[in-house]
Amino acid sequence: MREIQIGILGLGTVGSGVVQILTQNAEDITKRTNSHINIKKVLVRNLQTPRSISGNFTLTDNPSDILTDPDIDIVVEVMGGIEPARTYILEAFHNGKNVVTANKDLLALHGHELLDVAKEAGKDLYFEASVAGGIPIIAALKQSLAANQISTVVGVINGTTNYILTAMAEQGRDYDEVLKEAQTLGYAEADPSSDVDGLDAARKLAILSSIAFNSRVTVNDVYVDGIARITADDIAYAKELNSCIKLLAIAKNLPDGLEIRVHPSIIPESHPLASVSGVFNAIYVIGDAIGETMFLGRGAGSLPTGSAVVSDIIQVTRNIESESTAAINCTCYNNLLLKKSADFHTAFYIRMRVKDEPRVLATLALLFAEANVSFASIIQKQKGNNEAEIVLLTHPIYEGQLREALESVKAYSKVLTINNVIRFEGN
């Protein structure tokens, strides 16, 4: 029986989960792979740091101990960040090693480069854990759905923002209060900007889009907007519209180009993603042959993410056993046009404060009509002091049309404030 030696770069949350799963499920993994998978060395920052996880492996603070060890077959990178992770992975390939990584930041920027180097080296690069934790979406898109032309990928792929928006909706609380709670519970970082500003989801969407549409998309190609401007009032109005608010990662392959965007969206309660609550993730995929399908699970955490990493280790081990490494590499053979945000096509929710006077609503309707914007519904509520709050839900329009209309609306003296504009995604 073959002995597969692995070296792990990092022993934090994910690295510890990888060690735990490989240890507790060792017997079954051996039977499934017909190989003994042995953790030989683990890279850590500080050899003196006390650790709750242990095993029959050597700790080292020198990456070369792993990257140049001729006995190590698979390097597992769970450090995170761009550098030195990129340099370590490239060195691993140059030294004839296969690589498994959970690094979404790195893949979203340099995935094409790494896949090309892996192919040249005749080695595997697997990265299931880079998107949506334990949900097997990368393997599904690369293999299980490979017979399909994928037209749409829509996901709730950031647990922090989903927890915040769920708590706001269920408890009627404000954003700042729920964010502080999420930080206390460990669902949000001390600096939560990557999550709440949509950057984490954008990195994941770049990876998903590249695979789904076979066309290179980097994080810099993704339109991004965060959730910080969502208020309890917006949540309440969404409920009144039989809808809810989610931070959605949306990728569409349309005849005039790709729409790749991350932003808060109002979706009907009947939408498949509306019921995804708390820290759970879900990805909704439409293919020409399969139709609609959805993947749901835990999008982060030591064991869910560790599960995806170990699954990749198992697959690479099978590939080594069958001498079929590098069988699946970069599939970005298309060069599809990326649409500009002005050409995105969707409906919009617009909340504003206006003077509570005759003909104000009629004038607003005229200003929007001049930009060919019409309304699907209107909500108006008196707010005292001769003011009213108006919520407009438009029919689907191009974003450029909305921008044109809002310029005229902002100049109208009876409009006091435009409080929020949120995209509305239908079924």
Axis crossing angle, helix 175-185 with helix 159-171, rounded to the nearest 10: 130
- Distance, CA of 179 to CA of 185 (rounded, Å): 10
Axis crossing angle, helix 104-121 with helix 85-94, rounded to the nearest 10: 10
Here the tokens at position 322 are 């069958």
Residue 174 region, left (φ>0) first, then alpha (ψ -120 to 50), else beta?
beta
- Distance, CA of 405 to CA of 413 (rounded, Å): 15
- Distance, CA of 411 to CA of 152 (rounded, Å): 38
Catalytic residues, by residue number, are 204
Q: What is the DSSP string of 309-345?
A: HHHHHHHHHHHHHHT-TTSS-----B-PPBPPGGG-E
- Distance, CA of 268 to CA of 168 (rounded, Å): 17
The residue assigned the tokens 């032309």 is 149
**Residue from 207, 219, 223, 212 nearest 293 by CA:** 212
**Residue from 246, 241, 267, 240 nearest 376 by CA:** 241
3-state helix, strand, coil in the chain (%, to 5): 40, 30, 35
For residue 28, which amino acid is it?
A: D
**Residue from 25, 28, 24, 17 nearest 42 by CA:** 17
**Residue from 197, 85, 212, 91 nearest 142 by CA:** 212
Query: What is the pairing mode between strands 345-355 and 257-268?
Result: unpaired
